Homo-oligomer: A and B are copies of this chain.
């Protein structure tokens, strides 16, 4: 019989896991050992657990799933904000936690990393709201429970929590009999009703459009969503959180819709549609243009992973996959609806010695991208700066705008690069975000990865300045660092490290990077309040 850890790791390998992120700890040693001793797995040690969780989140966005290992109490709680982000944004992370021996738990002995109260279920309870399933493995329940949480994870594309007591990790399991799979199926009658109603509504609409959301990507349904769009003949737009979920070079793509904050031509078109088919869109404050969107609920259809919402009617027990399959077969192709195409800002004319403005910077960034790049952006002004620019074909644009934990992008870019070592990974972060999780830049070259890292130094939290009526609150100031010197100090490497303060310097660096064969770390200095147009619009709208 295999041991508990052998069974678990074996199943994770079958699912396609090859790397496990984490920080070791004594209660997790048998787990850590098993990972290191397994020739098919790689231990990816991070500098702290939150960074490890963010890296695992980034990895899951490319590899469809990832794994994280932490220790009892101190480790798992440090990772919790990262796990919550993966839960909110539907990234599947298997979180494996090493906990004290069952014999210690049963006699309520007091150990380190505990609250000193002899209780051992507290941290699992704390994690429960931010995972779709949780379990504590024993030799007796191992197969049943591993299969149950894997099924929940695959179904919901969300993290699961798996605790293993120290003395059970290497214990032989008592049975290999797996439970019967119970993946939920769509209810046929509801499915038929929903597909019929949507088909009819899109046919009858005077003007209609489609709005693909990020959940389409998370549930692996991008091709099917594109097939639905093609079958419909309708134009499509994206909301902010959903940028580039589908191809932004497609002639049917209009641009970003974000209420009245950006692209007035798209706003006018979308808001005058009598039917909008959203697919996996989270109607959050940012997606609703900070609630400036004027979208009457009666005109919206939203196909979610396990439900469909048509106007004020909610249909449950129908899965996105089945609804999209039905629609792709049944929709009538419209040829009469043409949407506008958003204009995006051009590169402003500048002199070489000019300071770099946000307007110049983001236009230059946009020029820099190549097909199939992976672009990782923090939930900061960089995100709003890039939003208006359509991306080349195949570019994966990774942001975390629902959970919005600044600092996520640096470790997430590391995880992403590890999952896609052959693609160009570009990290764009503000320096305030970067400070939060900066340690992890030392990991890229440890694993032979060659990212291009742009750190925007505008002397504080620009996004927060712009979200306040008063721009100069002291809490938006941060310590001054010499960012471009960090790669040298956090490791020895052959990276291109530069600091740009003028447009001419930036141009030169961009040309150099265009053909770079090594990693790069570029500090870009702009004036403190130089914000992209969309952030200015948000500030004005406060």
Contact = CB atoms under 8 A, between A and B. Distances in A.
A468 B126 contact: no
Q: Kindly state the interface size class of chain A when it binds its partner.
A: 35 or more
A489 B491 contact: no
A443 B479 contact: yes
Contacts of A473: 24, 32-33, 36
A508 to B, nearest CB: 24
Interface in A85-139: 85, 87-89, 109-116, 122, 125-126, 129-130
Interface stretch (A60-68, A182-190, A226-234, A280-288): A280-288
Interface in A45-70: 45, 47-50
Contacts of A115: 84, 87-88, 129-130
A269 to B, nearest CB: 24
Interface stretch (A203-211, A315-323, A341-349, A400-408): A400-408
A540 to B, nearest CB: 16
A1 interface: no
A279 to B, nearest CB: 16
A482 B475 CA distance: 30
B404 A74 contact: yes
Given A29-B467, A50-B50, A109 B285 contact: yes
Interface string A370-393: 000000000100000000000000
Contacts of A436: 47-48, 439
Given A43-B475, A47-B478, A480-B492, A284 B112 contact: yes
Copies in the complex: 2
A77 interface: yes
A285 B110 contact: yes
A242 B442 CA distance: 36
15 contacts: A24-B464, A45-B475, A47-B479, A73-B403, A78-B405, A88-B115, A109-B285, A109-B291, A110-B284, A111-B285, A113-B404, A114-B284, A442-B480, A479-B491, A482-B492
Given A48-B50, A48-B437, A89-B116, 5 more contacts: A48-B407, A74-B405, A112-B403, A116-B284, A126-B129
Interface of A: 22, 24-26, 29, 32-33, 35-36, 43, 45, 47-50, 73-74, 77-78, 80-81, 84-85, 87-89, 109-116, 122, 125-126, 129-130, 282-286, 291, 379, 401-407, 435-439, 442-443, 446, 461, 464, 467-468, 470, 473-482, 485-486, 488-492
